[in-house]
Structure 1
Amino acid sequence: MLSFTKIFRRGYRVVRDSELIQILNSEIKYEQSTDQFKGHTVGSLGNFELSWDGKRSKDVVLKRKCDSGEEIALSAKLGYGNFVELGENSNSLPFEALMKICIKKPELRSLLQFDCVIENKGYGLSDFSISRVCYLPSSSCLENEVYRGPLFSDLDPQLQAMYKEYLMDKGIGEDLTNFLILHLHKKEKDQYVNWLARLEATLSKPPS
């Protein structure tokens, strides 16, 4: 026979779990019923194809092969919080996105790598900035300690502008960045709701 203390502890634990389950259910219902992205510009992939979008991964990968034979690979994931105050009606998304772009010329092993940030401008709009441009002898050097060039902000402003125009000519413009930053926020929300649901299911499972 269970002692009174053990019965009390078990009953207290059941009540505590029940309260937590109610809070989790409330949060799940709120997230599922709230359209946080209403009014945001959907954007489009343009000539890119969605190559990877794992349900449990943070990033997405896009690829494109140009008529010239150039191959472009782009990966993106949510970055840091956007703390810029844009006003109550700005419809601002809370996070910026980190974007890495690799461009390979046909019949060459070397490639160009651009590290970029997609910035939420509010009112359903976005833009991207370049933080670094690297020349890599081959794709095997992606993780190696090779010289990656100066900070992008240290380059001549005219050269900075030309690099951005170069990427825009490759199809990396506002339409694509709108798609990416919205898609990544929706992806993060889906993962959050699934995480809440797994917690709720674990707590709801009766002890064996």
Structure 2
Amino acid sequence: MALRLTPVLRRAARALEDVDLIKALRSEINHELSSPSSFQDNSAGSPGDFAVDWDSAESQDVVLRRKLGSGEEVAVSALLGEILPETPSRPTYPREILMKVCLTKPGLSSVLQFDCRAQENSPFLISSAHFLRSTEHQSPSSYRGPLFSTLDPDLQNALEEYLAERGVDQLLVNYLLHHLHTKEQGQYVSWLQKLEAMVGQTADAAEE
């Protein structure tokens, strides 16, 4: 005959499972707080002439803007990409960053957008360059320009220099790498703490 648990025993069993989970969560939180990642020893750097326009604690991205004397505006939206493959020389920053660089000029309705990616100790790479129209809906079949890698190398270099002259350079990449990795770690710890609080509340209710 199978043993049937009473409601009290079932609650006690669930409470024990919750206690194990809480212990695991606290261990992970303590590890994150007491063993800072290697990148936290690095200088945060500076965004240069860019100002932070958006950086919510709830979002994964950050948006920077700067306005040139000519009235031209440069906006950079960045977030973390995939975890990089492991290598013998472990990188300080384990993930790459994905950037959208948008340029607007007075009197022009088109927005020139560069899709870029960058990782530690490597120059940022442009994946594509295409035009957007803020007042028109673009269909999925709209021509977005050629693959950047198929352009003449001299033209690729000239476009990279074009962005560098507007402050989208290695110094900005270094700032974004540090800022976004630090932000992501803080969000992870916050998520662990919220999960611990919720599970702990459930465990307390089960003991009553």
* 1:49-128 mapped onto 2 (5 Å cutoff): 49-88=51-90, 91-121=91-121, 126-128=122-124
SS at match of 2:11: helix
Q: Give TM-score scaled by structure 1 length.
A: 0.89
Aligned partners of 2:114 and 2:86: how far apart in 1?
A: 25
**2:160 corresponds to 1:164:** yes
**How many residues of Structure 1 are paired with residues of Structure 2 in the alignment?**
199
The answer for the alignment partner of 1:28 in structure 2 is: 29
Aligned partners of 1:39 and 1:6: how far apart in 2?
A: 52
Larger relative contact order (CA 8 Å, sep ≥ 6): 2
Unaligned residue ranges in structure 1 (runs of 5+): none
Q: Is the 8 A contact 2:40 2:182 kept in 1?
A: no
Aligned partners of 1:174 and 1:142: how far apart in 2?
A: 34
Residues 155 and 54 of structure 1: CA distance in aligned 2, closer, same or farther (over 3 Å): same
Please give the root-mean-square deviation of Cα atoms over the aligned residues, in Å. 1.8
1:42, distance to aligned residue in structure 2 (A)? 2.5
The answer for the alignment partner of 1:6 in structure 2 is: 7
SS at match of 2:125: strand
Over the matched positions of the two proteins, sequence identity in percent amounts to 45
* Stretch moving more, 32-41 or 92-101: 32-41
1:110, distance to aligned residue in structure 2 (A)? 1.2
- Aligned AA for 1:110? S
SS at match of 1:16: helix
Q: Give TM-score scaled by structure 2 length.
A: 0.89
Residues 70 and 144 of structure 1: CA distance in aligned 2, closer, same or farther (over 3 Å): farther
Unaligned residue ranges in structure 2 (runs of 5+): none
- Aligned AA for 1:46? G
